[in-house]
Homo-oligomer: A and B are copies of this chain.
Amino acid sequence: MSPKITTELLKQLRQVMKNPRYVQEPVQAYIVPSGDAHQSEYIAPCDCRRAFISGFDGSAGTAIVTEQHAAMWTDGRYFLQAAHQMDSNWTLMKMGLKDTPTQEDWLVSVLPEGSKVGVDPFIIPADQWKRMSKALRSAGHDLVPVKENLINTIWTDCPQRPCKPLITLDLSYTGVSWRDKIVALRSKMAERKVMWFVVTALDEVAWLFNLRGSDVEYNPVFFAYAVIGMNTIRLFIDGDRMMDPAVREHLQLDSTLEPEFKIQVMPYGSILSELQAVGAGLSPKEKVWLSDKASYALTEAIPKAYRYLTPYTPICIAKAVKNAAETEGMRRAHIKDAVALCELFNWLEKEVPKGTVTEIVAADKAEEFRSQQKDFVELSFATISSTGPNGAIIHYKPVPETNRTLSVNEIYLLDSGAQYKDGTTDVTRTMHFGTPSAYEKECFTYVLKGHIAVSAAIFPNGTKGHLLDSFARSALWDCGLDYLHGTGHGVGSFLNVHEGPCGISYKTFADEPLEAGMIVSDEPGYYEDGSFGIRIENVVLVIPAETKYNFKNRGSLTFEPLTLVPIQTKMIDVNLLTEKECNWVNEYHQKCREVVGAELERQGRHEALRWLLRETEPLARVQ
């Protein structure tokens, strides 16, 4: 992968940073965050402004361009990728390393006195604005909102904002109607004494209305906002997709409804002016609830005294706890996904020795097998199909320049998943199609021990996920090893593959306590730059645990793996496993056999079934 040449683009950006047509006063620095106006992690091509200006297209990163410098902050998953994709105009700021300055500290160190730092107020979350603005002000600089996005002014071939048709989900998928979700939301609003709730995150809009879209690749969402009052519902959405009879029927747009469930459809672009009108019309004590991650622009539309900001919205929290219909859907989706992967791995086992399977071919084949399954919609993220040294690039995506051929001499890491109408999957398996070295097996086994330690953990109700992170690392730590990413993230139900408010990470972010029905990933890893990458990932469901005692009647929780794909036993050094760990693997494989085996049988996929049976032979520990 060769870096993007950005010299000319940076020159143009530095010109518009001083051009009175776009800025009231020249700005000495311009911040280009990753996100869109909804603070999405995955964004539409029209919103890939940071990738456009820098070449770095990983999912997380913030660019800052000053008159003299261009710098990119990203985290451990992307150090290698960013270094490859950016040219020498850019300085890589490795977040999480001790000597890396924060964006604020760096700005203060490079800016001339009394500088203005510009940012698009629709793209920067209010909480980030606040922190950055304060830090800059205390050093004598100013953070200023620049209404017109400066990247857009130089991005001549910027694609259109997508506006694709919607999918309606009935009760068999969602378990709860959108009306009942509105009722529940209003009751949370009443509890907190707020009169309005502004839905800004795309997955929250989709979840609330039981609608899905395809405006953003991998995330089945659509560009929209919603403003929910105690008696009104306003949906801000563009295009003729609201003319679709199925959507009109689903939202009961043409029925005579009680007024409090009547949805007013408004143009997407009118959210700011409508919210300003709401803000102007508030009586004392009428609060408006927003996420503290909503954009600065929308947050400012509500006078400060009337804002009620929380890190997680009631929708985010309700969405995280899957109901029975969603849980059953997720189970079905994971069984289908396992069928596809059994087919894939069986195929790879035969084809890899021929030397014709590249990372891209393998990724495409995985998609092909998945697309044969019922209710398949699309992939849930860009497939990480990586062999040998590419496996050490944590969020690698094969492109022709890097595309490596799978062989019997290298470890192959496949992190992939799909959106099915009944659920979202995300699974990583690390395979060797020849004979792994003792060292590779050793590292794999430590990662497996960490995976099991989390998956089999029993913990009190109300425990936050970050308290489980060290369980995943303990076996690696014992040998002086570690990995530079979190252990797990929330997973949506036919929604975003990464969602809040729960997760498992050493970073003490404000995660909400785990509760039964939440779904997270369990994905420890180990990576050697230039050599190989190992990761073992299941999606797991939080379930009540039966325990011998019950301290303070709190109840306990544990995890049930939804992912049911064999873990390659060839990679395991059985002697490093405890008896309990060995039993865990055997019981897991037994379940794969029973559940996925039955489905393979049903689908008449006999060769893949034979592969599954071979791969799930019980391990035997030497005593």
Chain A residues packing against B (C-beta within 8 Å): 98, 457-460, 462, 466-471, 473-474, 476-482, 506, 508, 545, 547-552, 554, 556, 578
Selected from B457, B548, B550, B554, the residue in CB contact (under 8 A) with A474 is B457
Known: A98-B462, A457-B477. 14 other contacts (CB 8 A): A457-B474, A458-B478, A458-B480, A466-B508, A468-B470, A470-B470, A478-B547, A479-B547, A479-B548, A479-B549, A480-B549, A480-B550, A480-B556, A482-B551
| A478 surroundings in chain B (CB, below 8 A) | 458, 547
Docked complex Cα distance between A482 and B481 (Å): 29
| A551 surroundings in chain B (CB, below 8 A) | 476, 480-482
| A481 surroundings in chain B (CB, below 8 A) | 549, 551
| A98 surroundings in chain B (CB, below 8 A) | 462
Chain copies in the assembled complex: 2
Cβ contact within 8 Å between B506 and A477: no
Shortest CB-to-CB span from A33 to chain B, Å, is 26
Residue of B nearest to A550 (CB): B480
| A468 surroundings in chain B (CB, below 8 A) | 470
Shortest CB-to-CB span from A94 to chain B, Å, is 12
Residue of B nearest to A578 (CB): B578
Cβ contact within 8 Å between A474 and B471: yes
Selected from B462, B471, B480, B554, the residue in CB contact (under 8 A) with A470 is B471
Shortest CB-to-CB span from A421 to chain B, Å, is 37
| A477 surroundings in chain B (CB, below 8 A) | 457-460, 556
Shortest CB-to-CB span from A469 to chain B, Å, is 7
| A506 surroundings in chain B (CB, below 8 A) | 467
| 19 A–B pairs (Cβ distance < 8 Å), ordered by A | A98-B462, A457-B474, A458-B478, A460-B477, A460-B480, A460-B482, A467-B469, A470-B471, A471-B474, A476-B551, A478-B547, A479-B549, A480-B545, A480-B547, A480-B548, A481-B549, A481-B551, A482-B551, A482-B554
Docked complex Cα distance between A476 and B467 (Å): 15
Residue of B nearest to A138 (CB): B305
Shortest CB-to-CB span from A102 to chain B, Å, is 15
Docked complex Cα distance between A458 and B473 (Å): 10
Shortest CB-to-CB span from A455 to chain B, Å, is 14
Shortest CB-to-CB span from A522 to chain B, Å, is 15
Shortest CB-to-CB span from A101 to chain B, Å, is 14
| A578 surroundings in chain B (CB, below 8 A) | 578
Shortest CB-to-CB span from A554 to chain B, Å, is 7
Docked complex Cα distance between A459 and B482 (Å): 9
Shortest CB-to-CB span from A553 to chain B, Å, is 10
Residue of B nearest to A556 (CB): B480
Docked complex Cα distance between A471 and B98 (Å): 26
| A462 surroundings in chain B (CB, below 8 A) | 98
Residue of B nearest to A513 (CB): B98
